[in-house]
Every structure is written in structure tokens, then in C-alpha cells.
Amino acid sequence: MVASETRVALITGASGGIGAAVARRLGAEGHRLVLVARSEDRLRAVAAGLAADGRPDVSVLPCDITQGEAVRAMVEQVENRLGRIDVLVNAAGINKPALFQRLRPDDWEDVLRVNLTGVMLTTQAVLRVMRRQRAGCIVTIASLAGRQGREGMSSYCASKFAVVGLMDTLRREVEKLGIRVTTILPGEVDTAMHGGDPAAGARRIAPEDVALAVSFALNLSDRAVLPEIGLHNRAAE
């Protein structure tokens, strides 16, 4: 892996929550950042915060990761502009809670499109670059809900179970090419997705903790691969 100060890191879901925390962490470590999400305004707000912290070298690329042609064009633009992609962090995700019996097909499709298909499309596009480089790190934010079902979260759990299996398969396919794949499985994280209950928030994982796990996986030597990192919530007092 190239030195951190020259690495190019593409982060999806970078307009807030975990993705923005990852951007702040990797920016502080010297990565050249490419921030991707649907909302250009929110991405530019994150980029402005990074610039204020002394990280002006940030590219903002609005993109709907569920649209294959748009994703491929976005990745091609990054490669043409920056010459390489060393790190992909799949941090985009949504949740539309509902008991299974009340689950609307449209909501089911929306969750799987972002949480699973979006990960697949983005990873495929970036992988073409990394295969030519014969180097790269792919880190995907899944969830402990990808290991155990949760009431009222059937579509979210289904998407995260699938992502865990997808990334484990990918890791086995590309590890001989010098490409490392890590999946991070956090419990409930203190983001807008989970609402603003202060009592629950005190036990939720901070987005910065997930970002620290991403950094840890990326900073291992090339001789080591960390397939999964599980982050559990603090026990209730």
C-alpha cells in the first residue's frame, strides 16, 4: 500500500453520519478524499468542515450509487483526475423500519437498492481500478444486524446479511491480487438513522468509533488482512 499521505480514498455516504466521520478521520491521516453521496449541498458542507480543519484537497462528487452508469462514470472521473483509487469505504445506507407483515414492497426495494445493490455497483466499478493497480483496500460498513435479526428491521437485516456474505466472497476472490477486504459490523450507531432518543444515544456507538475501526483496518501492514471487525454497544447500566 502506498503511504497514507498519497492514498486516494473514495467514501460513499459521506454527507453525514458514519461516512462524514470516516472522511474526517482519513483526512486527518493525510488521505486525498473523494466524497460521494446524493446530496451535493450536504457533501459541500462536509468538505467545508474538512477545509476548515486544514484538509482542502477534497473532491465532491454527487452520485446515486444505485445507478450503475452513474457510478461507473463517477469512478472513471476519479481515476482520470487523481490517477488511482487506493481505498473504498462503502458507508452509504438507509433503513425503513417496519414489522415484516407491514413491510411495503417499495420500501423493501429502496433499502436493498442502497444497502446491497449500491455496494455491489460501487465496489465493482472501483475494483476495476484496483485490479489494474494490483493493490487497494475495500472497507464496507455492514451491521451486527447482518448477523442477527431485529424486530421491525427485516429489510435492513436482509440487506446487511447479504452484504456480509458478499464481502466475504469478494475477499476470497481478490486477496491474491493484493486487494484487502474488510467488513465492519457495528451495533447501533449514534446517527440520524436511529433518531434522537438521548437515553439510547448514551449507549450508542459514536460514528468516530466506526471511523477509528476503518483506520485500523487500513493501517495494517500489507501482510495482514482483517476480514471483519465487530463493534458492540456498551451494556446498559
Q: Are 136 and 180 in contact (CB under 8 A)?
A: yes
Of 7, 156, 157, 205, the active-site residue reads 156
Question: How many CA within 13 A on the CB side of residue 230?
Answer: 9
C-alpha closest to that of 178 among 235, 216, 222: 222
Which sign, positive or negative, has the C-alpha torsion 14, 16, 21, 24?
positive
Measured distance CA(172)–CA(227) in Å, rounded: 10
Measured distance CA(37)–CA(122) in Å, rounded: 12
Measured distance CA(100)–CA(179) in Å, rounded: 38
Residue 156 known to be catalytic:
yes
Catalytic amino acids? 156
